[in-house]
Amino acid sequence: MTDTGPNTGPLFVSSGDLVSDRRYKAAVELAARGDFAAAADVLTQTVEAAPGFATAWFALGAIRDQLGDRDGAVAAFRAASRADPEDYHGARLQLARLGAGAGTPAMTEPYVRRLFDQYAGRYDAALTEHLHYRGPALLLTAVKSVLEPLGQPMHFASLLDLGCGTGLAGEVFRPFAARLVGVDLSAAMIARAQAKGDYDRLVVGNLAAFVSDEIAKAAKYDLVLAADVFVYVNDLAPVLADITRVLAPRGVVAFTVETHFDAGVTLLPTLRFAHGELYLRDAVAVAGLELLALEQAAIRTEKGTPVAGLVVVAISART
């Protein structure tokens, strides 16, 4: 794992042919030893014998990229994408990074799920010890700072933690919530959160589908959190619109994002999304929310460098 976040290496999905699988594993070993040219040769032979072997195509794209062969990498990632329509491996994101596909393609559910299922066991240590992750603490400070002038107590009858992961935000906000609900796409992450015992309800599921179900049930939350979650969502406008519909009157939504200094949304080299400040202001307004705070902050560091981020707090305009 690098210090930039989850391991984005390919998920191994067998070709169905034992010889091709062995060739792939031999190529991975060569790459691990730094012999990328030899690894690329072995992988080229592998995909010639097994043209539908998505994992090998993805690895070949990554190695060609390491070798500076952009065109070869693009060709391999395109082949991986054709062989992997659910994009378990993230080939579409790699193509976008190389400027050869849609600029900000939505991350697929299978890709995000396997990313965090793989990462769950070391998630807490990686974020807190290596990345100096401060998202939940920054959100707590931001929410307190906007509620105090409004005369609203720092107490929430019902709190929803979107993309709760292992429960890092739940640990921080538990003292202020009578009922704490968490949802995450990764079953492995939810299992970690469950073991901590902070949540009253935990759900494994797609965030958008979960919120839609809550809307149908007329569920209401006084606070909705999304800590380090929206970096995996390209278009926040529909998400914020749905969140608005589950907020109680004067309910609050608070979230963190990574940001950049241009307009709109961009895919970063880390394969996370960065949202521009003007984009966020527009998305919050269109959702029918009143923006209370939008502050620059370093949510985490990467390779010793602070990552530009924003902490956003908004309130339901409904009374």
CATH number of the domain within which 311 lies: 3.40.50.150
Looking at 103, 128, 145, which one is the last position of a domain?
A: 103
pLDDT tens figures, 232-251: 999 999 999 999 999 999 99
Confidence of residue 264 (pLDDT cuts 50, 70, 90): very high
Would you tell me how many other CB atoms lie within 10 Å of the CB of residue 75?
16
Do the beta carbons of residue 169 and residue 184 sit within 8 Å? no
Q: Is residue 111 part of a domain?
A: no
pLDDT at 127: 86
Residue 48: exposed, middle, or buried by beta-carbon count in 10 A (0-12, 13-18, 19+)? Answer: exposed
Residues 250 and 284 both lie in one domain? yes
Whether residue 161 sits in one domain with residue 217: yes
- How many domains would you assign to the chain? 2
The string of pLDDT tens digits covering residues 32-62 is: 999 999 999 999 999 999 999 999 999 999 9
Q: Say if 11 falls within a structural domain.
A: no
Last residue within a domain, chosen from 68, 103, 138:
103
Of residues 138, 102, 110, the one with CA closest to residue 267: 102
CA dist 215 and 239 (Å) reads 12
One domain, residues 125 and 97: no
197 with 221, same domain: the answer is yes
Give the Cα separation of 5 and 271 in Å (integer). Answer: 10
Residues 6+ apart with CB under 8 A from 241: 286, 287, 288
Other beta carbons less than 10 A from residue 221's beta carbon: 24
DSSP 136-183: HHHHHHHHHHHHHHHT--S-BSSEEEET-TTTHHHHHHGGGBSSEEEE
Question: Is 108 inside a domain boundary?
Answer: no
Say whether pLDDT at 175 is over 50: yes
d(CA 312, CA 89): 31
Q: How many whole angstroms separate alpha carbon 66 and alpha carbon 9?
A: 13
Q: What is the pLDDT of residue 7?
A: 43
Cα 197 to chain center, whole Å? 23
Q: Which pLDDT band, with edges at 50, 70 and 90, does 136 fall under?
A: very high
Q: Is residue 30 in some structural domain?
A: yes
Give the span between the Cα atoms of 161 and 215, in whole angstroms.
16
Checking DSSP bridges between strand 265-267 and strand 273-275, what pairing results, if any? antiparallel
Residue 141 sits in the same domain as residue 227: yes
- Say if residue 125 is in the same domain as residue 273: yes
- Going by pLDDT thresholds of 50, 70 and 90, the confidence category of residue 282 is very high
Q: Which of 1-15, 77-91, 144-158 is least confident? A: 1-15
57 occurs within a structural domain: yes
> Which among 44, 68, 103 is the end of a domain?
103
- Do 77 and 157 share a domain, yes or no? no
Query: What range defines the domain where residue 173 resides?
Result: 119-316
Examine the pLDDT at 6 and tell me if it is beyond 90: no
Handedness of CA 287, 289, 294, 298 (dihedral sign): negative
Q: Are residues 73 and 126 in the same domain?
A: no
Q: Residue 36 falls within a domain, yes or no? A: yes
Q: pLDDT digit string (tens) for 92-133?
A: 999 999 999 888 999 999 999 988 988 788 888 888 877 889
Same domain for 128 and 273, yes or no, is: yes
CA distances from 172 to 35, 138, 266, 269 (A): 46, 10, 30, 30
For residues 191 and 59, membership in a common domain is answered with no
CA 212 to chain centre: 20
In a domain, 1, yes or no: no
In a domain, 114, yes or no: no
Residue 66 has pLDDT above 60, yes or no: yes
For the stretch 291-311, pLDDT in tens is 999 999 999 988 889 999 999
Residue 95's domain is classified under what CATH number? 1.25.40.10
196 and 281 share a domain? Answer: yes
Mean pLDDT, rounded, of the chain: 92
Does residue 235 share a domain with residue 312?
Answer: yes
Residue 222: phi, psi to the nearest 5? -80, -25
- The DSSP code for 12 is P
